[in-house]
Amino acid sequence: MGMDFSTLRNLISRYCAGEENWVDSRTIYIGHKEPPSGTEAFIQQRFPDNRIVSSKYTFWNFVPKNMFEQFRRVANFYFLIIFLVQLIIDTPTSPITSGLPLFFVITVTAIKQGYEDWLRHKADNSVNQCPVHVVQHGKVVRKQSRKLRVGDVVFIKENETFPCDLILLSTSRDDGTCFVTTASLDGESSHKTYHAVQDTKAYNTEMEVDSIHATIECEQPQPDLYKFVGRINIYMDNEPVARPLGSENLLLRGATLKNTEHIYAVAIYTGMETKMALNYQSKTQKRSAVEKSMNAYLVVYLCILIGKALINTVLKYAWQADANRDEPWYNDRTETERQRHIVIRAFTDFLAFMVLFNYIIPVSMYVTVEMQKFLGSYFIMWDDEMFDEELGERAVVNTSDLNEELGQVEYVFTDKTGTLTENNMEFIECCVDGHVYVPNVICNGQVMPGATSMDMIDTSPGPGAREHEELFFRALCLCHTVQVKEEETVDGIKQGIHQGKSTSFYISSSPDEVALVEGMKRLGFTYLRLKDSHMEILNREDEIERFQLLEVLTFDSVRRRMSVIVRSSTGELYLFCKGADSAIFPRVISGKVEQIRARVEHNAVEGLRTLCVAYRPLSPEQYQEVCRLLNGAKLALQDRDKRLAEAYDIIEKDLILLGATAVEDRLQEKAADTIESLHKAGMKVWVLTGDKMETAAATCYASKLFHRNTQILELTTKRTEEQSLHDVLFDLSRTVLRQHGGMTRDSFSGLSGDCTDYGLIIDGATLSAVMRPAQEDSSSGNYKEIFLEICRNCSAVLCCRMAPLQKAQIVKLIKASREHPITLAIGDGANDVSMILEAHVGIGIMGKEGRQAVRNSDYAIPKFKHLKKMLLVHGHYYYIRISELVQYFFYKNVCFIFPQFLYQFFCGFSQQPLYDTAYLTLYNISFTSLPILLYSLIEQHIHMDILRKDPSLYRDIAKNSLLRWPIFIYWTLLGVYDAIVMFFGVYFLFDNTTFTSNGQMFGNWTFGTLVFTVLVFTVTFKLALDTHYWTWINHFVIWGSLIFFVVFSLLWGGIIWPFLNYQRMYYVFMQMLSSGPAWLSIILLITASLLPDVLKKVICRTLWPTTTERIQNADKLYNGQLSEFTPLESLHAPSKAGRHRRGSGNQRNAPNPRRSEPFHKKIMFTRWRRTPDYCTFPPLLRFADGSRHSKQGHAYGGAGPETSV
């Protein structure tokens, strides 16, 4: 009965007591073994299997789910209604004219989205079906990863990836530790140390592990990667022994085993309950700004359509008020029609007019857009400049729906480690008692003659300098958690570092530590190994020194330091401590603090990662007290972390400062240049990282996110402990707003160099406080708006110590701000997946380890540097092309259907079509579709080299500038004008009914065909006028489509088609072309239609040219070679400030004020054939902001042949 009551109690607590009460813990039975009778009730809980799902559809729900998503689009839903109306009532056009294009759109889109989701399924299956080894009945058996269950004991070998979240039971190492890289989780490729459960670490075989009788109680799955609370109950002689479990025992899915032969671990969280999966955002359908504009325009055209149908319906009944017009002798109604109510007749007529005019809504535009996106995405994948030879990888497009969004990005959120940096540390220098030491220019502690120019802070060594120097080197060789990995030589003999050639290498939880130990090796002190709790180092005299490792006070982000306690071979006890300067200096009681502090600050400004080193000699009595403190804290089951922190605080005091080190985290190639270009393009760059503040800040300086003159504002836990969050936020707000006078940075067009440059640093804990919803009884209010206001006025923001979900929260916060900016997130690890899914555009970096970010991203690129071309070139082109495509489609459909509207005034509103059914159906599908599709694939309004060299051109298309309402209205009015010219031009020509030379009269189908011919030629020539980049393909498609129209019309009207029940078009087209006036009218009407647009272009380009048009004109002048020798800044429209300060660099598209450092100008050497220097060309001076021409050819801006391109 006890078991029954336990089950009942469990169910009640789970389903009735509220979510907070039942998600607190779970019980896991290792090896699925029941606990001994009488100890506790056996309640086997149900857990999910180990499948990972990143796909959106299944085989069963694909059709209904995809149909639902597609019919959410206004156009698709509208055409479905029109199609149904055509099926139900008698309409002037066939249902095929609406149904066929709709079916084509739906099918093409479904195939594309289905294919993309199939690729996700394929990637999921490769993960879910990979083999894992499980211990069952004392033997290791293989099974697929998806079949793994909570409670299974898993056997994992070196370099294998953990298939789920595991608790470490035992390892092949005697001390029960293993080493793990978590690159795909937190971006760190360094080795981290994890510990086996103390009571199970001795179980090293399958039989022994299978004999373990234990249960684990732990919290329910939580997304926090760095937190885990649990305990293990091990049954020995039926008596449970409880041991605490923490994050040091938890191995996370996606991490990889390193430098350990094998481990045994038990599965506790599987599948979508693993911490990695919980940090994924749910997939949502991302829609681009262009698609939203298309839907808005569609609503406008829908209103126009309803208005047209309504006007025609009202006018029809006004016209038919006269009985003779209502029912003429040649069109008697049936009795049924006479008895129908007038409301029903009016509604039917209204629907018939809707069907007649429905072509104003271009359903084929969606087909063309889908094809343009799908085919256009291959240009990214085929781009050889985005191919990385080192990785052998090209850029990948996972979702082509967002191509044009790449040209609209306003905020870039980037990860740090593995994205901006290579996570490859290099030791630069160290400073001991004020003396600077640089590797490779040191010989036995003496500065080599070639290094006399080094910055020596204090060149007068004290009496104990040599002793302090060696103590500093020994401290760095001992104070670390580095492991030595030995490699076998060709002879198969394992050799250590001190034996002959160096065949071993260092691994550690921190790449900084490896860099420091390797730096010491280059300075004469080599760390050899840790053996039997003794650390061995090789000194300069090639003597091996042994130190007994007594205690390790591990590093944590709060203390920001680590220590070791060692005993030398002579019996002396030392505590060596290293850490951040802010953590070491307050604990120092002696040493050359000021000299070392000055050097640390100097290196920090240079963007180097700095650490300080100190020591403290210990007496035996002091050491006994240290042991007592540490043991008491380690055995605590409650508040263990807090008690350990208190013990460390007591131990690490009264230190003697030895020196400091400087390490460089290498940035990825061209990372700084890419960030600089993004800033010039008007984008704000935020760095979101899980790394500590000092490290991240150093990287931001190195990558030029922060500059020397950047004033750093801190919103960190340290500051909020001194002041309330409310006060800190308002202080920062006053600081930035006082400088900017209440305007955001976006308000500055010139971005004057007088403006102070601000950079904000915020940590995860403070961000949580800022994001917390305001309490009703709290006077603090909601801080989000204040925080956003501060961020808007900062040129760069660094968010450190961020959990993966916090990264997504930041992106979501910016997305939801009042400007609704377009956001892009880029990262390389599973910890970046949440923000990649949350941002409008998500980009994955193909890191050295892990593919989670790549698999869940919209686009994937090999290196961060490729982001520059992806946005500034591909994004720019995609947006220009698709915006022209959208506007052109609406324009040509207005031209197409407005004459049909006008025609109703001349046919008694009888719903008579102006065009033949074939023309109605093929206009958007065949006659005018290919030219605009090709335009939207290959148009290059500006050469790509110019776009790359002048990032500020990206600003010209920002904020969806080419799809704004004024431009949309212009295209619509242009379409209405062209339609009026076509219709009334042909109408007035038809006044003379004897139109042909033989006196034969033309009928209504000739009238409609003539209008249609002028229409097709006009809209095609309009596109030709807008094309800047001509190739043989353009010529073939544009002129080929016109020839196809003529040939089709000749065939359609020249043959009696047996499958048609009417032959109304027979010989119409040929008869029309046999008339001289018809030819003349076609030429005149095409000219009259295009003339206003041509005049507008000429006048605007001459009087008010945009930056883009200036560059186009100049590029034509130099036959497409402008980017090679012209200063592009000279072609920008001058800002008001620039007119007064010609040489100050404050042009409209100048970079942000932090770029006010001296320009580094690059001399451009150009070769000319029989031509003088480019500055002597008079035409260029028209675009050079009024500079006067000099005979010497060096008068432009006083810069001569130099340029800052």
Which are the catalytic amino acids? 415
Q: Is the dihedral of CA 955, 957, 959, 964 positive or negative?
A: positive
Task: Characterise 719 by phi-psi region: left (phi > 0), alpha (psi -120 to 50), beta (else).
Answer: alpha
Say whether 440 sits in a helix, a strand or coil: coil
Q: What is the enclosing helix (H) or strand (E) of 1139?
A: helix 1136-1140
Question: Dihedrals φ, ψ of 216, to 5°?
Answer: -120, 130
Query: What is the rounded CA–CA span in Å between residue 440 and residue 523?
Result: 8
Q: What contacts 24+ positions apart, CB below 8 Å, involve 1057-1066?
A: 1064/916, 1064/1005, 1065/916, 1065/918, 1065/1005, 1065/1009
CA angle 106, 107, 108 (to 5 degrees): 95
Query: What is the rounded CA–CA span in Å between residue 15 and residue 359?
Result: 56
Say whether 716 sits in a helix, a strand or coil: coil
- Provide Rg for the chain, Cα atoms: 37
Place of tokens 């209604």: 81
Q: What contacts 24+ positions apart, CB below 8 Å, involve 54-57?
A: 54/120, 54/123, 54/124, 54/280, 54/283, 54/855, 54/856, 55/117, 55/120, 55/121, 55/124, 56/117, 56/120, 56/283, 57/113, 57/114, 57/117
Which tokens go with 459? 């060149």
Q: What is the enclosing helix (H) or strand (E) of 812?
A: helix 804-815
Which residue type does 447 have?
V
Which tokens go with 1173? 């220097």
Best CA proximity match to 408, nearest among 1107, 1150, 955: 955
Which tokens go with 625? 């007290």
Query: What is the rounded CA–CA span in Å between residue 639 and residue 507?
Result: 31
User: Distance between the two ends of the chain, CA-based, in angstroms?
Assistant: 83
Best CA proximity match to 284, nearest among 858, 813, 802, 827: 858
Query: What is the rounded CA–CA span in Å between residue 783 and residue 772?
Result: 8
Under a CB-based contact definition with an 8 Å cutoff, are residues 719 and 1121 in contact?
no
DSSP secondary structure, 148-184, as one string: --TT-EEEEETTPBPSSEEEEEEESSTTSEEEEEEHH
Which residue type does 148 have?
L
Q: Is the dihedral of CA 580, 584, 590, 594 positive or negative?
A: positive
Say whether 800 sits in a helix, a strand or coil: strand
Q: What does the CA dihedral 766, 771, 773, 775 come to, rounded to 10 degrees?
A: 20
Query: What is the rounded CA–CA span in Å between residue 172 and residue 363?
Result: 65
Query: What is the rounded CA–CA span in Å between residue 377 and residue 384?
Result: 14
Under a CB-based contact definition with an 8 Å cutoff, are residues 1010 and 921 in contact?
no
Residues sharing a CB contact under 8 Å with residue 154, sequence separation 6 or more, in sequence order: 132, 133, 134, 135, 148, 163, 164, 166, 264, 265, 266, 267
Residues sharing a CB contact under 8 Å with residue 731, sequence separation 6 or more, in sequence order: 723
